[in-house]
């Protein structure tokens, strides 16, 4: 598969399925793609060829920057995300460089965004699974959640809901992350980094 400028984009929100996980820090990827689906006036449906929910549509302004996109939420649990993502990539004929993982990031302060292409998984099980399944050369929208306080274990921290203080900024943060995805798809990584990396 070649990286074709007109090829579709696959925007993957990483998270865990099920209502008990919906408001967890680990599920910010789901929150961002839910908002993008809302903006596209689409509703998630079960994918035919993968364990995932998808919305197909267009993103960006009318004209040459308008892109075909598939929004996806793997329904396999975080540490098995690679299988569904690879199946969707192959089914929709998406170049790996047009795959975007939207995920929580411990090593960045809360409500801070960083966009990049490729790199390590930094201990993130969703990224680890994706990289193992299809190489590391996909885009990441890293949504900072900060480090756990005190001696709290990382696993406990990411599987807890955002705190009441964090929730005051959460809508703004999710909105900004969704904006950064739209910018990445329409205008490219460099433009999105200069506008949204902080």
Active site residues: 26
Instruction: Give the span between the Cα atoms of 26 and 156, in whole angstroms.
Output: 10
DSSP at 136: S
Distance, CA of 172 to CA of 167 (rounded, Å): 9
Angstrom CA distances, 40 to 58, 119, 141, 167, stand at 7, 30, 19, 24
Q: How far apart, in whole angstroms, are the C-alpha atoms of residue 26 and residue 20?
A: 12
Helix (H, G, I), strand (E, B) or coil at 45: strand
């Amino acid at each position: 598969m070649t990286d074709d400028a007109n090829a579709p984009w696959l925007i993957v929100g990483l998270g865990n399925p099920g209502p008990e996980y919906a408001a967890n820090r680990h599920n910010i990827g789901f929150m961002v793609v839910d908002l993008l689906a809302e903006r596209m006036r689409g509703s998630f449906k079960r994918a035919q060829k993968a364990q995932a929910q998808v919305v197909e549509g267009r993103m960006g302004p009318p004209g040459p920057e308008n892109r075909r996109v598939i929004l996806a939420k793997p329904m396999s649990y975080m540490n098995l995300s690679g299988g569904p993502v690879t199946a969707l990539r192959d089914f929709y004929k998406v170049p790996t460089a047009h795959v975007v993982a939207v995920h929580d990031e411990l090593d960045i302060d809360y409500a801070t965004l960083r966009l990049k292409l490729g790199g390590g998984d930094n201990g993130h099980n969703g990224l680890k699974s994706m990289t193992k399944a299809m190489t590391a050369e996909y885009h990441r929208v890293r949504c900072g959640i900060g480090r756990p306080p005190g001696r709290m274990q990382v696993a406990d921290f990411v599987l807890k809901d955002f705190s009441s203080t964090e929730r005051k900024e959460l809508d703004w943060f999710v909105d900004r992350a969704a904006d950064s995805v739209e910018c990445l798809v329409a205008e490219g990584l460099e433009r999105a980094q200069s506008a949204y990396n902080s």
